[in-house]
Amino acid sequence: MVAHRESGRQKAVDLFRKTFGSEPSVIVEAPGRINIIGEHTDYNDGFVLPIAIDRWLFVAAKGASTDRVHIYAADFDEADLFSIREIVRKEEGDWRNYARGVAAQLKEEGVELKGLQALIVSQIAIGAGLSSSAALEAALALAFLEVSDRSLDPLRLALLCQRAEHQFAGVHCGIMDQMATLLSLTGHALLIDCQSLTTQQVPLPDQVTFLVADTGKPRALAASEYNIRRSQCQEAVQHLSQLLGKPLRSLRYVSLEDINRHFFDLPDPVGRRARHVVTENQRVLDFVSALKANDLKLAGSLLLQSHQSLRDDYEVSCPELDAMVEAIMSCDGAYGARLTGAGFGGACITMVDATKAPTVQEESLTRYRNRLRSSPYQPHTFLVRPVGGASVVRLSET
């Protein structure tokens, strides 16, 4: 995918030149991410295991001589203009709020921002659960820092981007996406403890690769239902605090024994939401142990258990995602598959025998289409490899 990355970089430079009539001084490249396992656990202080993938969002940028920010999103053919002196959230709630939110948070962090000209072009499918939003936040934050001659620690920057998404985009996301985009290491998954924000780089076996199967169905309900699920988890914490006789900060502090003992004391669907989070946290840790033991069969079964829990307890799946998992698992060479991302559409991730990956990729799509002949959505599949986090390319150094 080196050529793919270089072509994206060149496209960003060419479009910047066409849009602004000058040369950019910097290119920022932020990868998308796919979460192998650990879904809807991050905002519950739990464990997640994402990888940054070889699909990038590019921001070509240069500093401006005024306090004006002019950003052009090539994929939407839309622009945004605002002053860094007065950054106001747009009520329309589109991509512009990610840009404005990042700038506002940098100012709150004490960064003396300079004006910016920036062009955005992306290889990350929107709505597929690959976290194009976190890549956008990270890339723009690094562009602002670069032209303002400032830098921030990657973890601090990830937290800043998360606040931008909370306050300007209105999505109360966890920290996983931003950390994966900024802290990942090539060839590794990133185990994140979302309570302590400590990380562990987990080497991935050479004999497996990962297949992303995008159903093509937009995640139209994801934002509103995401916030509902988060509220339900908070309600579960309140109930369990009373049942266990101790104040709990989050579902992270609920054991498997606790949830099994008090499951029927919790109202439905709150109990099922809590059961998913508690069992999913354990699945993440078990999956990492399985990888270290090279027990790929066990690792694959944990992915399937995760999908079943997301489907039945957390209720964020849909017929398209279920059909995709079934189609993939009917292919020889697939260890395990599950939906990834917020749900209600988007993509599945599969751990595949590397020697059989092309066959699984082809056959799974055919079998999926046979299962959902009347679907109006156009599915597609692609193989991904784990790459490093967001980086800055100073064009004077290329």
- Largest Cα separation within the chain, whole Å, is 66
Pairwise CA distance, residues 246 & 128, whole Å: 39
Omega of the bond leading into 247 within 30 degrees of 0 (cis) = no
**Gap between the Cα atoms of 132 and 136, Å rounded:** 6
Catalytic residue among 45, 80, 177, 313: 177
Question: Quick one: which of 307, 140, 310 has its CA closest to 226?
Answer: 310
The answer to whether residues 98 and 62 touch, using CB atoms and an 8 Å cutoff, is no
Strand partners, 29: 58, 391
Long-range contacts of 317-320 (CB under 8 A, 24+ apart): 317/343, 317/344, 318/215, 318/217, 318/343, 318/344, 318/345, 319/372, 320/215, 320/216, 320/217, 320/345, 320/372, 320/375, 320/377, 320/379
Q: Please enumerate in sequence order all residues whose Cβ is within 8 A of that of 147, keeping only pairs 6 or more positions apart, or say none.
A: 25, 26, 61, 62, 63, 114, 116
Across the strands, what pairs with 31? 56
Cβ–Cβ under 8 Å, residues 273 and 233: yes
Please give the structure tokens belonging to residue 325.
């998992």
The two beta strands, 208-214 and 386-387, are: unpaired
Per DSSP, the residues of 185-234 read -TTEEEEEETTTTEEEEEEPPTTEEEEEEE-----TTHHHHHHHHHHHHH
* Separation between Cα atoms, residue 273 and residue 236, nearest integer Å: 8
Q: Please indicate whether residue 75 is annotated as part of the active site.
A: no
Provide the 3-class DSSP secondary structure of residue 59: strand
For the annotated catalytic residues, the residue numbers are 177
